[in-house]
Amino acid sequence: MFDNRLLALLNHMIQMPHLDIWKLSVFLNQSVKSLESDIHELNDTLEKLGFLKIAIKDGEYQVPESLIIQKIEIQAKLKNSQIFLQEDERQHLIYLYTFIRKENISNYHYQELLQVSKNTTLSDINKLRTKCSQYNIYLKYTRSNGYYLEGEELDKRRMAAYCISSILQTAIGPWALNYIAKSWNEELKLDQLQKMIENLAGELQIKLVEDRLRDVVGLIYFIYLRQKRVKSSFTQEEKEVLQNSSMNQISSKILSQFFHLPYSEDEVGFITRLLLGIAEGNTSLYKDEKFYQLTEDIINTMEQVAMIEFEDKEALRESLYMHVVPTFYRLLFGMKLENSMVNQIKREHKELFVFVKQALVPLQKMLKMEEIPDEEIAYFTIHFGGQFKREIKKTKTYHAIVICPNGISSSLILISELKQLFPQIHWLGEHSVNELKNLSEESYDMIFSTVYIRTDKKLYIVKPIMNQTTKNYLLQNVMNDFKLTGLSTFNVQDLMKIIKKHAILIDEEKLYKDLSKRIITQHEQERDELPMLEDLITEDMIQFSSAEGLSWESAIKLSSRPLIKKKYIEESYTDAIIDSIREHGAYIDLGQGIAIPHARPETGVNQLGMTFLKLDRSVCLLDEPNHAVDMIITLAAIDNKSHLKALSQLTKILSDGDRLKALKAAKTKQEVLTIIKEKQEVN
């Protein structure tokens, strides 16, 4: 039996016919040693079937031209009986097979479809039923009707969208969808439909996310094959949103010109919302005051909760707007965003994730949702994270472009990762494969892409989020190719050679990973080594005051005194805080009698610091009684990032009723320190 893993590898290598093996390993997130073993196994199979083998020489592979031409023939020879499908893949195929069923289905049909035993099929059906229940769908069976789906049509389509998206993420995706269609004597014309949508969108100057368009095209086609019409579930407001969208024209033509079906407001509306969910907002082509204001509210909220101020707010507004628009429509119509990197983003950007979640409250309120899904928050987290990069001195300037068909969200993640790895490089932004053709080759020196591209320029195949080993491979090769300076690192390959000369290696692969992790962790260490709250609010930064008749200005100056004494700030910083409050209002008031005075770093901050002042008698900011505070925590931030961990920990203490009560009741410095440290131990 031919392992589906090897079929996927074959398809990847045909798509990227000539490449370094290490670059392919980066793309597949697989070790070089393991990949080489798979290639040898694949070559053995190709040889047995009478095809030419893939050539390997000097760490590179070359797929014969004849093998590329014979791709369909190879798949036909293997046949479905020789292809081993993973458990999840079998369940997705069962669902889609049932979704477009033309007659009653029995267990025997599923067995023939998947070429597996009865027991395996029954096991798959039971597990699929569990998945269906998450969408409020039931896979039922009766002797008279066979297997069928029960539930709301919209829910069935959402489940179909999930299955199609999951299948298309594998190398056998198009083959698998066509296999299901042919099982019912139907033919998919996915390429033709996608081309039509791309042309119509181009005419209207609308840009769609390339990779996600494939998912939408697949779903639209399977809905057509299903021949079940959706019933309207739109409010009048939602109908107006859809009808006023340029996408409505595209949806109408898909229905009438491609499928030759009569006009249906509900079906056109459904297709429109699918397309809006993968549209890239463009401030010059798609202007909506509602989204402008929403974007502005999100940025302002982020500045408030994270105690930061973005310098180039206009550029941030421009880029964030392009992400807000499709996000709004995805959430408005309940389209779940699959983000396999959410856990890694939450882990690696823990503090920032919390602040971004708070910053998205305006979006949450507009949509009247209980909460924004973590998958969406994760993409916004990377977006904001990219704004926190430090200014650096550059020597020789190289220019690079990023090709990422997965859309703005994934490209933001990728660009953020690459900017951290290569601060010396000038990044020209993200482009589609088609846009690359219109760029002058003189404008860039290298390409970082998530897909293979034929080019004479240096090409680096990358993933949006890379592990330590992958970062090391990439860093070493880019540095070697362009002689980049300014990064202090070792060549892991050279170290391995030296170690092999003088030692017997028990686990070579693990050693390589450990060395990579140790060497290429500069930015991760920076994140992990961000000061904690107890590092900033130390005993000499805590004060208590029982002074009477203290003005709010005097209270802020008193709170800042320890920072001035240690020369963490200049007196000008305190003056800037007071001037800013007079100009912008009591923005430092968090409620519950708590204030966090802060201003921009350039107004007099020398070193990151934070103080704690507890007043026996409240002071009123701007002399307004509704802004009375008795606990002042002054923050002196040196940038938009270094204070985030400490601020996140402080926020958790202040949002915990019991700990806040204890903090306000504290009478000694030791009591304050105990509460701070106790909270961190819980975390």
For residue 559, the surrounding DSSP H or E stretch is helix 552-565
- Average pLDDT (92-105) is 95
| Better pLDDT: 70 or 604 | 604
Distance between CA atoms of 24 and 60, rounded to whole angstroms? 10
Contact 404, 431 (CB under 8 A): no
Range of lowest pLDDT (93-97, 185-189, 239-243): 239-243
Range of lowest pLDDT (162-176, 178-192, 284-298, 301-315): 284-298
- Average pLDDT (426-450) is 84
- Average pLDDT (166-188) is 86
pLDDT of residue 237: 65
- Average pLDDT (32-58) is 88
- Average pLDDT (89-109) is 94
- At 344-391, the pLDDT tens digits run 788 878 888 989 999 999 999 988 888 898 888 988 888 887 666 533
- Average pLDDT (167-172) is 77
- Average pLDDT (231-253) is 75
pLDDT of residue 421: 79
Number of Cβ within 10 Å of residue 646's Cβ equals 24
Range of lowest pLDDT (223-232, 389-398, 400-409, 453-462): 389-398
Strands of 505-568 (E only): list them.
542-545
Instruction: Identify residue 400 by its one-letter amino acid code.
Output: A
Task: Give the three-class secondary structure for 254.
Answer: helix
Does residue 669 register a pLDDT over 90? yes
Query: Which are the contacts of 497, defined by CB distance < 8 A and separation ≥ 6?
Result: none
- Average pLDDT (443-463) is 86
pLDDT of residue 197: 95
- Average pLDDT (524-528) is 46
pLDDT of residue 24: 85
Give the global pTM.
0.60
- At 556-595, the pLDDT tens digits run 999 999 999 999 999 999 999 999 899 888 888 888 899 9
Strand-strand pairing, 612-620 and 628-632: antiparallel
Query: Which are the contacts of 73, defined by CB distance < 8 A and separation ≥ 6?
Result: none
Q: Phi and psi (nearest 5°) for 67?
A: -70, -35
Range of lowest pLDDT (45-49, 430-434, 557-561): 430-434
- Average pLDDT (270-279) is 85
Q: Where are the alpha helices (DSSP H) in 277-339?
A: 289-306, 313-332
Range of lowest pLDDT (178-182, 208-212, 538-542, 662-666): 208-212
Of the segments 74-88, 122-136, 333-347, 645-659, which one has the largest average pLDDT value?
122-136
